[in-house]
Amino acid sequence: MSEGDSPDLAELAKRRGFFLQSAGAYGGVSGFYTFGPQGASLKDNIENSWRDRFTLQEGNMEIDAPTIMPEPVFEASGHLDGFDDMLVECPECGESHRADHVVEDNTDYEEAEGLGPERVGEIIEEYELVCPTCGTGLAGQAIEDFNLMFETNIGPGSSSPGYLRPETAQGIFVEFPQLAEYARNQLPFGVTQVGRAYRNEISPRKSLLRVREFTQAELELFIDPEDGEGPDLSSVSDVVAPFYGVDQQEDDDSDPLEITVGEAHERGLVADPWIAYYLGVAAEWYESIGVDMSRFRFRQHLSGERAHYAADCWDAEAEVDGDWIELAGFAYRSDYDLSKHDEYSDEDYTIFKQYDEPVTVERPTVDPDMSALGPEFGGAAGDVADALEALAESDPDAFEDAGEDGSVTVDVDGESHEVPVSQTGFAVEEVTESGEHITPHVVEPSLGIDRALYTVLDHCYREDEVDGEERTFLELPPAVAPTTVGVFPLMDRDGLGEHARDVAADLRERGLSVAYDDSGAIGRRYRRQDEVGTPFCVTVDYATIGEAEDASEGAPGTVTVRERDTTAQRRIPVEEVPATLEALRDGELSFSEL
């Protein structure tokens, strides 16, 4: 039996309806894939499994935001200015390539993205790297930033530019004020979203692993930054996983640490308890959908690749086709996103935090004399008054140091204005407050569904031999397999077909996914279902209808249930088939217990 990466996986995916390149009739388009009947079902099952674990079991809310959003959203988020990849263009054939990928594919550098354009250019020159398309040398070619956003227009004309979202997260962040009301302004609360995202990749590659349209599943957890309690780690503290921290990566001879989540947090390797919690949840979830945990790790971002707003960030990675690929990111995003939208929009992105008891505090205030500011500053008087209020809040000592006869300086639109303290109405008053407005921090587990699907197919691909014949099968967990059960009549005559169709109908009524097949030899039908990962098959034969020639063929009213991985078979009463298969799918019963 061979496991893991298989040269036949792409061929199997296309032939059996998992995925294929889109618009093949028109030559295909790079970076876009169509999920066929098997792939769409597998994708739905993975998404629903993620929803169950990260939304339902965690008690979070789910939303479904538009895939196109107006330009100001991405001005606030920083995507317009900083969502770039490094592009290098071949001087001979004109093909564009991701410069960091050229480096990673041809040198020992594994994370070239974090090195920056200047260093990547030096490496290209040092190693005399060439264009992957035509072989022309790339040394000395400019490394340019290329923004990955897909631009469009909202409505006729070009007066309302918009963009296809590069991540689902912004759809959650922009709606925070309303979502906070739904959560009754009680922190922490989480919001999830599963949906399409778009990135105009320079050089899509490796099938589903680097595409221009993909599905993300993201959770944005909003927390009180001053709440030191964090999550209850007891449910995941014993989960064992490989942790590849910064220290291990910088030591060339170090391997990931195979330790528990609890130990990783206690050591300070995963400092934030929420990140540690979700790493534990994710490790168990990935294993449940079929990821081979011996080819899995959590890798901490190096300082050069970590987003500027992220206090810490870890990736879930899996080995696929000999390379480690990113499956998910777990980031502590601080208050960056909400603060940006608070700054750029007209909404308030804070939450009022009620104190246990009212407190009396000294509060600096200003009451500007507008009769004096108006003639002095004209149309800028209102902005000057706002600037004085901001100064009193951020630096009240500026007023006290200046004294009653002095003045303070404020900036408005880049211009400095000097205002006499006597005209500011500055005072320090005692006020009683019942609470304060805080900007929540965000913890984000974000994963790609397409990459998870491809990894599961790769990790579950098997080849063996049955009865002297080579067999290909997908060892998919029953809970995510596209089809739960194949139903066959031994042959389509003597009423066997009618009985088999009745069995299939009963199973569908129980919510099981069923494939009915009466074409060809029974062995070939088994092989077809094995190849798409169907975990169980039910065969209706003459014993089922009470016409077996020999008692050894089975008791009347029973069917044969076959298990995919071992090809073992059991006979059970036909009336028990729906409940039995439902229990097998849900993991409440093992096949060996039949």
DSSP string, 286-332: HHHTT--GGGEEEEEPPTTTS-TT-SEEEEEEEEETTEEEEEEEEEE
What pLDDT is recorded for position 4? 37
Q: Is the pLDDT of residue 254 over 90?
A: no
- Say yes or no to pLDDT of 552 above 90: no
**Single-letter amino acid code for the residue at 61:** M
On whether both 132 and 98 belong to a single domain, the answer is: yes
Task: Render 246-277 in DSSP notation, one character per residue.
Answer: HHHHHSTTPPPEEEEHHHHHHTTSS-SHHHHH
What is the rounded distance in angstroms from the CA atom of residue 414 to the CA atom of residue 411?
6
Tokens of 99: 């410069």
pLDDT at 102 over 90: yes
Is position 572 within any domain?
A: yes
DSSP per residue over 517-582, as a string?
A: --SS-HHHHHHHHHHTT--EEEEE-TTTTT--SSGGG--TTEEEEEETTT--EEEEEGGGHHHHHH
Tens of pLDDT along 383-408?
Answer: 999 999 999 999 999 999 999 899 99
Q: Is the same domain home to 310 and 223?
A: yes
Based on the domain organization, do 138 and 194 belong to the same domain?
no
- pLDDT tens digits, 277-334: 999 999 999 999 999 999 999 999 987 777 767 778 999 999 998 889 999 999 999 9
Same domain flag for 326 and 387: no
* Digit-coded pLDDT (tens) for 18-30: 999 999 999 999 9
pLDDT category of residue 530 using cuts at 50, 70 and 90: very high
**End-to-end CA separation in angstroms for the chain:** 26
Q: Both 228 and 374 in a single domain?
A: no
Res 555: pLDDT:
85
**Pair 260, 276 in one domain:** yes
- For the chain, give the mean pLDDT: 93
Residue 462, sorted as left (phi over 0), alpha (psi -120 to 50) or beta, turns out to be beta
For residue 1, name the pLDDT band (cuts at 50, 70, 90). Answer: very low
Cβ within 8 Å of residue 257, ≥6 positions away = 242, 243, 244, 245, 248, 264, 269
pLDDT, mean of residues 7-14:
84
In 103-159, the DSSP E strands lie at: 144-147, 150-153
Task: Note whether residue 476 is domain-resident.
Answer: no
Show the tokens assigned to 574.
Answer: 């036909």
Domain boundaries, position 385: 359-430
Give how many domains the chain has, as a whole number: 4
Shared domain for 426 and 458, answered yes or no, is no
Residue 3 has pLDDT above 60, yes or no: no
Two tokens at 203? 């050089």
Which CATH number characterizes residue 298's domain? 3.30.930.10
Domain end point (choices 147, 166, 186): 147
Whether the per-residue pLDDT at 200 is higher than 60: the answer is yes
Q: What is the pTM of this model?
A: 0.86
Please tell me which residue, 69 or 554, carries the higher pLDDT value: 69
Q: 140 lies in a domain? A: yes
Residue 215 contacts residue 165 (beta carbons within 8 Å): no
Evaluate whether 433 touches 355 at the Cβ level (below 8 Å).
Answer: yes
Residue 7, pLDDT score: 60
pLDDT score of 2? 34
In this prediction, residue 203 carries a pLDDT of 84
The tokens describing 499, both together, are 């009985």
Overall average pLDDT of the 359-383 stretch? 92
- Residue 116 pLDDT > 90: no
Predicted confidence (pLDDT) at residue 87 exceeds the cutoff of 70: yes
Question: Residue 5: pLDDT above 60?
Answer: no
| CATH number of the domain enclosing 120 | 3.30.40.230
Residue 291 and residue 267 share a domain = yes
The pLDDT value recorded for residue 308 is: 67
**Does residue 387 sit within a domain?**
yes
The listed range with the strongest mean pLDDT (92-106, 176-190, 356-370) is 176-190
Q: What is the CATH number of the domain that holds 566?
A: 3.40.50.800
Cβ-contact 349, 177 below 8 angstroms: yes
In terms of domains, do 326 and 421 share one? no
Residue 521 within a domain: yes
* pLDDT attached to residue 472: 94
Residue 86: what are its φ and ψ, rounded to 5°?
A: -85, 125
Tens digits of per-residue pLDDT, 322-340?
Answer: 889 999 999 999 999 999 9
Rounded to an integer, the average pLDDT of 372-393 is 93
Task: For residue 76, tell me if it sits in a domain.
Answer: no
DSSP string, 103-119: HHHHSS-S-GGGG-HHH
**Are both 383 and 410 inside the same structural domain?**
yes
Residues 177 and 190 grouped into a single domain: yes
Distance between CA atoms of 9 and 207, rounded to whole angstroms?
A: 11
CB 349 within 8 A of CB 332: no
Is residue 291 situated within a structural domain?
A: yes
Tell me, yes or no, whether 475 lies in a domain: no
Query: Per DSSP, what are the bridge partners of residue 428?
Result: 364
Are residues 388 and 525 located together in one domain of the fold?
no
Q: What is the pLDDT of residues 415-461, one digit of tens each?
A: 999 999 999 999 999 888 889 999 999 999 999 999 999 999 999 99
